[in-house]
Amino acid sequence: MNYTSLEKKLNKYNSAIALDQLMSSRWRDRIKNWFIDLTIVLFIWFAVSPTYTPAYTALIQGLTFVSLGISILLFCLESFYYDLYLDDLITVFPEPHFKNGDVSGSYLVAEIIKNTRAEDVIFGLSRSVSGRLLALRLDIPLVDLDTFVENKKNKINPNEFEIQTEEKNDLFESFITSIYNQDKEFKDFLFQYSVREKDLAGASRWITKQFEREKRLERWWGRDSLSKTDSVGRDWSYGKAFVLEKYAQKIEDLYDFSSHGLGHHKKEVDEIENILSRKTEANIMLVSDDDLQKIDILVELSKKILGGKSPSLQNKVMFVLNINDVIVGKKTKPEFEEEIVNMFNGAERAGNIVIVIKNLPSSLVNSNALKSDLLGLMGPYLDSSSLQIVALSDTKNFHQYIENNISVTEKFETMLMKEDTEDNLVYSLQKRTVELEQKYGVFFTYLALVAIAENVSRYFMGQIISDKALDILTELPQFVLKQKKLTITKKDVLEMVETKTGIPVGEIKEKEKEKLLNLEKILHQRVISQNEAILAIGSSLRRARSGIESANKPLGSFLFLGPTGVGKTETAKALSEVFFDSDKKIIRLDMSEYSGGDSLSRLLGSFETGKQGVLTSLLRENQYGVLLLDEFEKANGEVHNLFLQILDEGVFSDMVGKKVNARNLIIIATSNAGSSTIWDYVKESKSLADNKQKIIDEIIHEGLFKPELINRFDGVILFHPLSEADLKQVATIMLKKLAKRLEDKSLELVITDELVDYLVQKGSDPTFGARPINRAIQDNVEEIVARKLISGEAQPGSKIIISREELELTNNKNE
Amino acid sequence: MLFISSYISWHYSKAFLNIYGIFSNFLWVIYRFFSIPLLLKTFFYPWHRLDVSYAKKLDFGEYFGTFVVNTLMRLVGMIIRLIVIFIGVVCLLLAFVFEIAFLLFWFVLPLIVIWLFYTGILKML
């Protein structure tokens, strides 16, 4: 639609907007009420005046009349105002006598258009209430907005300004996104605040919804508000289910209807409604791990029924029942069975009851413990036409107890629910901010809500997303109040997620920045030589952390190839120390143990035995760290396929289909594959880097790894055998470690060349790399020090010098 | 001036429709609150559907007892429903009368306001 025709269409709101500009509606309302109060006081005075103040009676009568006149005038004016103001409110209940023709948000746009001066729509936006609120929700300071508007160079010509209104039922959103798409300067301005079109549209929708909500409250005489009154007839026409009411509660008494069932599960609600409307077998099982989601859907349905918008379920009342309460109350089988039968009989006779059974699988298991067949007892009622049953279950128990039970699946229609989408999540968070903002006086920005939704699904995978998101939302106000702030921004959300998970999620901080830039140097403090490997790791990780790479992958993944004892594990430890502040943050799996046929079920858990998987439980406990897979080539082909998926998507599913997060891991697979080729190249003094592809090809040729698996790694890193000079350095580092330990006992170990040479000579077997050096230190050096300590030769404060003779002597003894 | 003219035209056109609409909502909610059709449909049902099942064995005394209890329950139900239906109809009528009165009042409201100002100021002088 063209700007000019929109302006024409919306000018009917002008009178109301003029009133708003004159004085806010809150103040007008206040003044009106003052006059009404004044009239009452004057009237009382007038009534008693002939007795007490006869001289003023006429004056008071006059004042009363004038005050009443003003009150009526103000009342009429406000009625006029509200009629226009509420005109763009879409009602849920059809009200045939009102013709609310306009799209939601029309009033807001009308205000912007009325404020538009000098043909600049942005000016109108910046001067209107909705526009300023929008800026605040997007975390844009109003000063910045005003400066931007003042210094703006180009204007959109209203004659050329087109508003795309298709497929949207929010004129405000359409209007704002149209400006965004047609005014490059505005777009660039928003870009500075990291506001994407999606965010702008979402925040605009939020503003419209917020005004809609206010309008709905003002319109107390609308059917949407009036319909909340209960009906006396309903309760008196149907029966009372006495036994059921002992254990169950009406859903409207159990859950807060203002914060549940907010209307974004229309599809699911319609489907449940259809199933429950059947003549018989009108039962449904909702399967989801997210309790909130299930309740939300049922509350939404319940609201629909209460509002009279579901003719086939008219007058139905939902009762939420926990059968386990009956089991606890009635301890023996006959008592329990009698109670259940009475309960269902009563509910059936009442004629308007839908029973919601919480956690059906656990009820089945527990009733089995009483040797009672709950399903058998319920059987006749499941076919009944006057009783509907909704059973709830989580996915794990559904797969374990329900899925294979034909008698259940026959009677219940199963509905496996998907996780809420991010947009839905943002929407339901929005609804809940109202209460928090009022309670704490804080202000949520839209970007903060988006950050919650995004980060929760990334860092709390496997947990119930909407629950977790709501937790964070509820804790945020206090979190920012402690910092003496009132506005909740994206940064606060990231900080909060960081404190909760210990994972640095926010923008790269100073400390980490330094680490990332100097990664090679830091790694070299622990890892000797291996320049090529360390360079490759450094650049891969910098790429990953700068956000260039997809967020839906592990933090980094490497295949370390090379002989034993050349620093592969040490590099993994060093990475763990750099990124996770501790070399203990390593989850280590020896993959040679997973070469058998049962490997996959050992890693992921087994459905039949109910045993947890090694990998799944390790990752659930520490989802943040280095996952080190030793001797990766020895793992079973199925295990390789599993990692194909993990490296690609960063998530995998356990035995019951629950997701496990691997996106916060650095995955390092080590392998000796290709060692002999590497040896050959090194012996011939050929560069490993130049021949990398040849080495990889050979490994593929040998059938150790599939090419697609190798390609999934962020980097294949070749470790070359250590030279004598390297080994010397390794020996020195190891000795320094020992010296450090001795220092705590006030002993000084003198590291002599003689000692280092001896160790290097011991570790000169190329097939074992530096590993024998470590053993020689343990077997010989530590042994000598221990002996010196016990014999009293070494006293606290003294120096320990170890000679070659001593070493050889101990060595001979050991052998 | 423009404002006043648009107000006056609203007062004598759309406002009437709105008052009619608001009262229709009130009538609608009263009707719903008393659920008159539902009460009529279940008029002869026992109170809260509380009835006693007849014994399977034929025992005249017991049968008679059950019959009396059930009849009483139905009678109680009918009486209470009748009262509710009556109150409901009265409320509907009252709301309707009030609506007519308010529409008339609205029609003369501008005149009333003028009269109030005129008389008020006259009294004060």
ipTM: 0.85
Q: Cα–Cα distance between A1 and A166 in angstroms, integer?
A: 9
Q: How confident is the model at residue A5 (pLDDT cuts 50, 70, 90)?
A: confident
Tokens of B79: 């009486």
Mean pLDDT of chain A: 85
Report whether pLDDT(A53) > 80: yes
Pairwise CB contact (< 8 Å): B7 & A80:
yes
Pairwise CB contact (< 8 Å): B26 & A230:
no
Query: What type of residue is A575?
Result: L
* A114 neighbourhood in chain B, CB within 8 Å: none
**CATH class given for the domain over A510-718:** alpha beta
Chain A residue at shortest CA distance from B44: A237
- Residue A668 phi, psi dihedral angles, 5° rounding: -125, 120
Among A200-214, A254-268, A326-340, B3-17, the least confident range: A254-268
Specify the CATH number of the domain A724-814. Answer: 1.10.8.60
- Residue A666 phi, psi dihedral angles, 5° rounding: -100, 120
What is the model's pTM? 0.73
**How many domains, chain B?**
1
Pairwise CB contact (< 8 Å): A315 & B117:
no
Q: Cα–Cα distance between A278 and A283 in angstroms, integer?
A: 9
Asked if A381 and A344 count as a contact pair (C-beta separation under 8 A), the reply is yes
How many CA atoms lie less than 13 Å away from A624 in the CB half-sphere? 16
- Residue A178 phi, psi dihedral angles, 5° rounding: -65, -40
Q: Cα–Cα distance between A285 and A269 in angstroms, integer?
A: 13
Domain that holds residue B35: 2-124
Pairwise CB contact (< 8 Å): B18 & A237:
no
pLDDT in tens, A145-169: 999 998 888 887 777 788 887 666 7
Pairwise CB contact (< 8 Å): B6 & A15:
yes
Indicate the SS3 state at residue A723: coil
Nearest chain B Cα distance for residue A227, angstroms? 7
Which residues 279-318 of A have a C-beta within 8 angstroms of B? Answer: 308, 315
B82 touches chain A (CB under 8 A): no
Which residues 9-48 of B have a C-beta within 8 angstroms of A? Answer: 10-11, 14-15, 17-18, 20-22, 24-26, 28-29, 32-36, 38-39, 41-42, 45, 47-48
Specify the CATH number of the domain A230-416. Answer: 3.40.50.300
A230-416 and A510-718 have identical folds: yes
Q: How far is CA A357 from CA A316, A347, A362, in A?
A: 16, 13, 11
Chain B residue at shortest CA distance from A308: B32
Could you tell me which residues come within 8 angstroms of residue A126 by beta carbon, excluding any fewer than 6 positions away?
A: A132, A135, A145, A146, A149
Instruction: Name the region of A359 (left: φ>0; alpha: ψ -120 to 50; beta: rest).
Output: left
The residue of B29, B53, B76, B115 whose CB has the most chain A CBs within 10 angstroms, and thus the best one to mutate to test that interface, is B29
Q: How confident is the model at residue A262 (pLDDT cuts 50, 70, 90)?
A: low
B50 touches chain A (CB under 8 A): yes
How many CB pairs below 8 A link A and B? 129
pLDDT of residue A65: 95
pLDDT of residue A609: 77
Nearest alpha carbon to residue A717 among A520, A588, A519, A557:
A557
pLDDT in tens, A768-795: 777 778 788 888 888 888 888 888 787 7
Of all residues in chain A, the percent with pLDDT exceeding 70 is 95
Long-range (24+ apart) CB contacts under 8 A made by A374-378 are A374/A323, A374/A340, A375/A405, A375/A407, A375/A408, A377/A337, A377/A340, A377/A341, A377/A344, A378/A340, A378/A344
Helices A360-369 and A374-382: crossing angle, nearest 10°? 130
H helices of A400-552, in order, are: 406-411, 422-440, 446-459, 465-482, 490-501, 510-517, 519-526, 531-545
Each domain of chain A, given as residue ranges in start order, spans 1-227, 230-416, 436-501, 510-718, 724-814
Q: How confident is the model at residue A767 (pLDDT cuts 50, 70, 90)?
A: low
Chain A residue at shortest CA distance from B41: A237
CB atoms within 10 A of CB A119: 14
Pairwise CB contact (< 8 Å): B33 & A68:
no
